[in-house]
Amino acid sequence: MVLLFVCFCLFVCFSLLVLLELSLMLALLTKATQFFSSGHTNNWAVLVCTSRFWFNYRHVANVLSVYRSVKRLGIPDSHIVLMLADDMACNHRNPKPATVFSHKNMELNVYGDDVEVDYRGYEVTVENFLRVLTGRLPPSTPRSKRLLSDDRSNILIYLTGHGGNGFLKFQDSEEISNVELADAFEQMWQKRRYNELLFIIDTCQGASMYERFYSPNIMALASSQVGEDSLSHQPDLAIGVHLMDRYTFYLLEFLEDIHPASQANMNDLFKVCPKSQCVSTPGHRTDLFLRDPGSVLITDFFGSVRKVEITREAINLTNPTELSLRNELKSEALFYVDQLPVADIIHQKPKQKDWHPPDGFILGLWSLILLVFFKTYGIKHLKHIF
């Protein structure tokens, strides 16, 4: 009897172990398949702060905190285009020079030791931003100022500053509209400059900026809806200004918990900063994105692709042909815009016909001239001509 019980227990344990192992293998397998099926091979980040002046300290702090997270999670400086419209760390009014804090307790100096700003001060203009995105830069532009992405790049674009319904203000003198931004993204799509794009904007009425997107594979998040203002978090009385905006503050808090191997996905990102904490309602847009947001990792955009993962377990890979078949099925949903047909490219414009004065005019003019000539000089001179 006891023997039976012991056998039964052993059997149960054994089956449990087997099940555990199987599930582990399955998890590893999915991870492996996922590892080999992720669509991107490199990550880029374009982080823009559009406002200058000391009282817009918080916008610089916003961008620097996202920069910090993105660098920490693995994207190198060569793949980050950082645009700061003003220098807060070395501003004359900064009582704590060479620092930019995110919290009044001075817990986190987001300026750090190795910030690499690519576009600074007055170089942050709408034109430069659009040129960075579309790649239409003069040949003399250094590599650090270029977005050298390809069709397997996942790009994170983070904008912050003062905005309104449909526009974002740059440098207090010009603005970019949501239509321009949408067209720039469409250019990027047609020029195969991204695989997937994550667009985050932290301004007042930020949701209006992603309303007009129409290119595939874009996911967008905004800190507030149309008609709402994004509010700042808290001021530091020693520094004298508000240090960060609420949305980015809680975003930073969320990102501090992410490490390069974490499996947190976009659905968690959408939950960052609910209305109770943010006062404004953050919004997001996923209709243009082809993958399910639940399957998109945070590190797909905030971290960088690491080709190497050290593991001690043996992984059984499935037959490569089966894998590629499944990949093809998955990637069928993606498509490229048709190239221009050759006839359009090489097509010659028809030669313009030159304008000629009407015959009646020529006739009338010359007959008049002849008439006057003969009237003046007399008909008798005709014989000299003929």
Contacting positions for another protein (CB under 8 A) = 352-358, 360-361, 364-365, 368, 372, 375-376
Locate the DSSP E strands across the chain.
Answer: 42-49, 80-84, 119-120, 153-160, 163-164, 167-170, 174-177, 196-202, 218-222, 283-285
* 326 phi-psi bin (left φ>0, alpha ψ -120 to 50, beta other): alpha
CB nearer to another protein: pick between 98 and 363: 363
Q: Is 278 one of the catalytic residues?
A: no
Which residue, 3 or 379, is less far from another protein as judged by CB? 379
What gap in Å lies between CA 49 and CA 87, rounded to an integer? 11
Catalytic residue among 204, 233, 242, 278: 204
Residue carrying structure tokens 């309104």: 164
For the bound state, the minimum distance from the C-beta of residue 343 to another protein, rounded and expressed in Å, comes to 24
Q: How far is the CB of 208 from another protein (least distance, A)?
A: 37
Tokens standing for residue 40: 């991107």
Return the SS3 of 21.
helix
**HSE, side-chain direction, 13 A CA sphere, residue 94:** 21
Whole-number Å distance between alpha carbons of 146 and 41: 18
CA 92 to chain CA centroid, Å, is 32
Choose between 294 and 358: whose C-beta lies nearer to another protein.
Answer: 358
Give strand pairing partners of 220: 199, 285
CB of 350 to another protein, least distance (A): 12
* Whether residue 259 lies in the annotated active site: no
Q: Smallest Cα–Cα separation from 134: which of 186, 209, 210?
A: 186
Q: Which is nearer to another protein, 339 or 352 (CB)?
A: 352
Minimum CB distance to another protein, residue 368 (Å) = 7
Closest contact distance (angstroms) between CB of 356 and another protein is: 8
Place of tokens 């043996």: 314
Positions annotated as catalytic residues are 162, 204
